[in-house]
Every structure is written in C-alpha cells, then in structure tokens.
Chain A
C-alpha cells in the first residue's frame, strides 16, 4: 500500500490580482522505502506541495480541493491539534538552508531533546540517549560532546546532518526534504544525499525530495514527478523520465542541464520556457561602436596575468600580533589568461576563488603580488588616467542579480553609467542610442530602458548586468558565479549569451563557478582552487578526463552522475 497518496490537489493563493493556483490537480504517490523526486523550476509549485501536506502553507494560501491520504487517513479531515501530532511524529521535514533552520540560541542537544520528548513522550535521560544515538546515525562523531554545541559551531554540512537528525527525532514514516542540498558544496551534497538514501532504505521511510537540480534527482530518486506551473506534467521511473522524456517541458528542461560528461558548443535552445529571450532585433555588434575595440592589434597575447597573489583576512583581532588569527584567503596564486580565452576558477565555498576575482577587479587590495592587465601593472589607483583607462577595459558580472543593480535607477541609467562616467561618447543622444542597441543585443529590447530593475526576473536582471558590463567597451569580463542564482533553463540562455558575446567581441573571460558541468561547457582552461591555493591548472577537457591532483579527482568523482540523461 502507498504511504502517501495525493489526489487532485489544488492549492490556492488569493491575491489582489485574483487567485493564483500554486498547485492544480496534482496527484502523486509515495511508497515506503522510496525516494520520489519532485522537480521543477522556481514557481513551479513543488515546495507548495510539501507545505500543503504538512498544513504549513503561508497564509493566505490554502488547499482548495483534493485529498492527501496518509496511511489511510485524509490529512485534510484532521483538526489543528491532530495535525500537530502528525508533524514530527509521522511526517518530518528538512529545509534548504541549514544556516537558518536551527535556532541559533539553543544548543543542538536542547533542540533535539525538546523534539524527542515532544513526539515520543520520554524522560529527559532517555531522550538524551536517543539524541546521542540519532546524531551518531546521521554521522556526527563524538555525539555526546557535540550535544552542548550551538548551531554556529558546526559547518554547513554538519548542520544539515543535525537538521536531518531533528527531522527524524519523532520517528516519522515520511520525510519531505525541500532542496536539502542546494545550499551545500558538491562534496557535502553527495554525503547528505547518501545519508538520506541510506536512512530511507534502513528505516523504510518514504521520501519526497523537492529540488530544482536534475543532478540530485539522477543521483537518488527512484521515481520523478516533473512540475511546471503548478501541474505535474510527467511522472515515472527516474531512468525513463530523464532518459526518454515524453513531455515537451521535460525535454527542454533536460536539454538545458549542463552536461558534465561532454562539452557541447552551445546549450540546446529552450523553446518551451516563456519569459526568456525577447524576439528583439540583434545589432551587428562587430561593426557597432561597442565592437570598435574588438580587433585591437596592440592587445598583448597574455591579456591578464596574475603573479604570486596573496591576501589574508583577520579572523580574530588582537593587540598582539602573535595572537591574531589570520585566514589566508589567497595563497600565492599565479595564472595567465590568453587573449580570447575563457579561464575558469573552480572550487568550493571558501576556496578563495571570488577573492581572486575581486582582487583582479580592484575591489580588494592584495597583500603582495602583481596583476598585469593588457600589458600594464595595475596598482589600484584611480588617479592615474592611463591606469583608469586600462581598468575600464575590465568589467565584472556578479552572482546575485537582485542586489547588484541599483533599484532606484532606471535600466537606462544603470547601463549608461559607465559610458557617462568614462565620458566615452560626445553626446547624450549617442549614449542613449548605444544603450538601446545594447539592450536589444542582450535580448531585453530597447523598451526595457525606461523600466526599473524590480520589474525584471532574475535572468533578465542578469542580462542588464551584462549590458552594463559591456557598456564601457571592455576587453576582459569577470563572471563571478553569473548563473548560480538562476533556474537551469535561464542559466542555459545566459551562458549561451555570454558565449555569443565572447565570440562576437573576442572577449577574454575569467569565469568563476562552483559548478563543474558549467565550467566544462564554458571554459578553455581551468584552475582548481582549494584553501586559497591553485592545486591544479590545466585544459578543461584534461581536468574532466584525467584529473591529476587528488582534490580535483575527488571533486570530479562527487559530481552527480548524469548517465541517465538522454544521449545527445
């Protein structure tokens, strides 16, 4: 018998502009010992399903129709108090961000014991024993001592283990895991997924795994439900859905997933997803003002060279030098990027890859070492006109499209700012024309100029960022995780756009990412960073085919397997 059987579930959010159906006619089942992957892009309604099961929908959302039959009982018929008894005891939930899902002021022991006693009616001492055992189960060593630790004393992966222990503390039969590994590094992701899978098998738990990441699905899901705009468009065995998708949406979604196992020239164009590229006119950027610097014969072969870069941050201040604790964020980093090349920096969070980018961009000042840009040593001074001119030729695209655009400026002013600042044009009319051409070219359309950033989606905002970066006619672009905040189909569009622009303008790119498949698709050469050092620097294909350093090998090995995906 199925553990959970959802039939024709409707979730409704009344808004001022009418009711929104976050889920419509959703039916799915979960059996004991089975991992059901619920996959879809942001806004598809997949988290809503989890919240609806738990009766934790954010008001004013409510379940409009349908049945949620759990172990033979329709959860919708239970009153608030009975429902509270289902939560934790029967159904557990794991959240996305382990940084925020634990109460920062209580020790993990207090939180565990509280939950255990709440669900299982135990004495304090018994609950403590169980807490220790639970922590051991999820792979936390010296569990007894760690009970007294506060959440901030754990790393992200360890914290997620604590969250899992908490979710399991009431001995539930079903676990709803909402993006459980999205906030974690790839090596930690693998461990957590393995843990969830093991617990699922050992305890015969049903697991609903909500995620946007096809890689995670491929890794552990037994069956998959693909959601699009509140509806389930396809359900089936993982291998079948990923390998031979039926629905158009599933096909385009899977086509947009960056492949780790091979390099493609471009991402397959995604037609099914709306809100993407506006059918705007493309300008011929090579002959345009924007492309004027394209064929600059004076450009040196080595466009950007970094030598023996070092930077430390102070972790703990002290009056005495010996007592100060320093973090070596960048440790003797050297590399050189050739003209027209895309150079990747890959590593896990805290490896120093963004710090390197920020030093190159002049946002941080290195302790020692040199940055040589277009044949000139960059010292980090804006007063020298020659240096200012060189630094204009290097622009940056940031990770978070929501905080990297000034919300109080129109898109016109945002994109025109570099042109105006560097006084690159002779008239305001010319500036405006250039901005409009640029917006057309990045696929937003010239009419976007009069609007404000909040009117755009994440992917569109990233296009604005790209337009802004291009406005000062740069020769070098630094892309710091440009797509990690975006859905996979949008990511494919943005990466295609970057590839096109690079080819058209012959740009040099420093591309930073933690996402190995993206690196494989984008970069010619790549440097693997760990704890501030470059441990391996090689051709991208060589890194993926035969990594030499042990750390690179483990990174490559921990990538989610994508063998199930449809062969191209």
Chain B
C-alpha cells in the first residue's frame, strides 16, 4: 500500500516536471517577452536593461532551473500586463473556480449516478428511455450553446436567476466564498449546471453500461437466488461493483471540469482562473499562462492520486494480493 502510493507520487513528480518544461518553453516561443512588456517607444538600452533584469540572456538551462526553483516556491513572477504577482492573481481567482467546479461535480455525480443506476435497472421503462434521449443533448451540444440557452431561458425570459458574474461573495480572509448567501447560490446555479451537463451525461451513461454488465454476472444471479431484496442487490452488490471504472472516469473528469471551466467562465463572465487565462492569452501574458498551465496540471495530478487511493479502498483485489 505504502509503496504503491510512493510509486504514484514519483509518477506525479515526473508529470509535473514535464508540464513545467512545457510551461517554461512558453516564455521562449510565445513572442518576445520584452516586446510584450514595453511599448513601441522604449529605447534599445531600456530593453537591454529589462533583459538583464529578467536574466533572459542566460543559457536556457539556467533559466529553466531558475523558473523551476521559483515555481516550487509558488513564485511565477509578475504579470506582463498588470504587473501584479501572478501567484496572487491566481490565488485570488481560485476560490471562484474551485467552488464552481465543486458544485458542478456534485451535480454531475448525484444526477449521473442516480439516473445511471435507474436506467441500468429499469432499462425498458419510458422514463429510462426519455432520460437517455435527453442525455444525448448533453453530449452533443457544445457548452457555450447550453450556457447561452440557459441564460436566455432563466435570466432573460423567466428572470429567475442572474445572467452573469459572481455575486453575494463573503470574504473569509483566506477564501472568498459564495456559498453563504442566497445571491451567491443564485449566481452559481447556471454556470455550474452548464459546466456539469457534459459530465452528468458521461457518468450517467458509464454507470448505466456498468450496471447492465454487473446485473448479468453470476454473483447477482446468486444473490437473487438467495432471496435478497432488490434494494440490497442493486445497491450493496451491483452499484459497488460498478464503482471502480466510474471512479476512474470521475477522477479524470474533475480535471476536465477545471479545464472546461474556461468556456463556461467566459460565457458567464465568472471571475475564475479560466477567465484569467483567456484574458492572459489575449494579451500574450506568458507568466500567467505558464502558471495556469502548471496549476491545472497540479490539480489533475492531485485528483488522480486521490482516485488511485480510492481505487485501492474500493477493490480488495488491488489492496490484498491474491493468495
């Protein structure tokens, strides 16, 4: 168990090293950083001074090691555009994104698993059929269309919910949350729903096909032959056996949620890291882009590490070697 986690940790470090190399290469490939920082009127001397100050004339390797050393300490330098500290900018935006992702993940999980189990067990009922048809919409429509559609329906036509932005934020000092006010909740519903729709569908279809698979196994038939109740069979025996693949996909998808949040945040003008990234791309603000890349990769790695550990706790065959 311990060596298993250690091995995973090592792999995570490798992944992060690769991503950091990629992020670092942004500095050299996305335009000339000095050009991005100063205006047309800067003199060659000024430019050279900046180059010296940033160490841009050092060998690539030295620059990379310096970048890495700073990154490990959470220092990604200053934004070219706003001259603010990049880490501060990301940390400031982080609660918005994480709360959005958390709410959508919960929506996707609850609806996806419940509907998946239902459609897996009662595969021929009219409700299952309609759920499956509707779920096709979730897979096939792009996020921004769904977002705009929801805005039109709930904000413009029904006037129930705000159309964009984050509201009702309470500052806890270290975290700015929108979970404590009604306004905050009202504002998060639409973007979270939009973001979760694709994931809900994925989880629903995955749980359903796994359920269908498991319901055909001998141990379910044996459980039935022992006279166990449907509830015990469906939940204690069947659902648990669908969890291993489901947890894997959910793990990957939470990473996906963070990545996809870029589009949702743009549509809803949600002040999260995704919006920050899009704005950084517009202005070729390389330090922000590099930091965002590293941040998303870190999220992916952490989530997958948790998934691996969950795996082991769900399935005893992984936990205890066969004897």
| Interface positions of A (Cβ within 8 A of B) | 54, 56, 84-89, 92-93, 95-97, 100-107, 114-115, 118-119, 150, 152-153, 163, 166-167, 169-170, 316
Contact = CB atoms under 8 A, between A and B. Distances in A.
Contacts of B314: 105
A101 B316 contact: no
B228 A104 contact: no
A167 B226 contact: yes
A87 B317 contact: no
User: Which among A54, A100, A105, A150 has the greatest number of chain B C-beta atoms within 10 A?
Assistant: A105
A52 B316 CA distance: 35
Contacts of A153: 320, 322-323
A102 B228 CA distance: 14
Q: Say which size band chain B's interface belongs to.
A: 20 to 34
Interface string B211-243: 000000111011111111100100011001100
Contacts of B321: 316
Given A101-B219, A103-B237, A106-B236, A118 B322 contact: no
Contacts of A93: 222, 225-226
Contact of B316 (A85, A87, A152): A152
A56 B222 CA distance: 10
Given A103-B241, A104-B316, A92 B218 contact: no
A375 to B, nearest CB: 43
A93 B240 CA distance: 23
Nearest to A154: B323
A115 B228 contact: yes
A404 to B, nearest CB: 24
Nearest to A115: B226
12 contacts: A56-B221, A95-B218, A96-B218, A100-B217, A101-B218, A105-B241, A118-B226, A118-B228, A119-B226, A150-B316, A152-B320, A152-B322
Contact of A114 (B224, B232, B323): B232
B315 interface: yes
Given A118-B232, A150-B317, A153-B323, A87 B219 contact: no
A89 B232 CA distance: 16
Contacts of B316: 104-105, 107, 150, 152
Interface in B40-66: none
A114 B228 contact: yes
Interface of B: 217-219, 221-229, 232, 236-237, 240-241, 314-317, 320-323
B227 A89 contact: yes
A218 B256 CA distance: 62
Contacts of B232: 114, 118
User: Which among A92, A106, A119 has the greatest number of chain B C-beta atoms within 10 A?
Assistant: A106
A96 B222 CA distance: 11
Given A54-B225, A87-B225, A152-B316, A104 B241 contact: yes
3 closest residue pairs by CB, A with B: A88-B227, A87-B227, A93-B225
A106 B241 CA distance: 10
User: Which among B223, B237, B321 has the greatest number of chain A C-beta atoms within 10 A?
Assistant: B223
A314 to B, nearest CB: 13
A169 B225 CA distance: 12
Contacts of A97: 218
A114 B225 contact: no
Contact of B227 (A84, A95, A152, A316): A84
A430 to B, nearest CB: 48
A118 B229 contact: yes
A167 B228 CA distance: 12
Contacts of A115: 226, 228
Given A100-B218, A102-B222, A153-B320, 9 more contacts: A56-B224, A88-B226, A92-B225, A95-B222, A100-B217, A100-B219, A103-B223, A104-B241, A150-B320
Nearest to B124: A59
A464 to B, nearest CB: 29
Given A97-B218, A100-B217, A150-B320, A105 B226 contact: no
Contacts of B226: 87-88, 92-93, 115, 118-119, 166-167, 169-170
Contacts of A316: 321
Nearest to A315: B321
A85 B321 CA distance: 37
B225 A163 contact: no
B236 A170 contact: no
Contact of A166 (B217, B222, B224, B317): B222
Contacts of B241: 103-105
Nearest to A110: B236
Nearest to A84: B227
Contacts of B323: 152-153
B236 A118 contact: no
User: Which among B224, B225, B322, B323 has the greatest number of chain A C-beta atoms within 10 A?
Assistant: B225
User: Which among B218, B315, B321 has the greatest number of chain A C-beta atoms within 10 A?
Assistant: B218
A284 B76 CA distance: 84
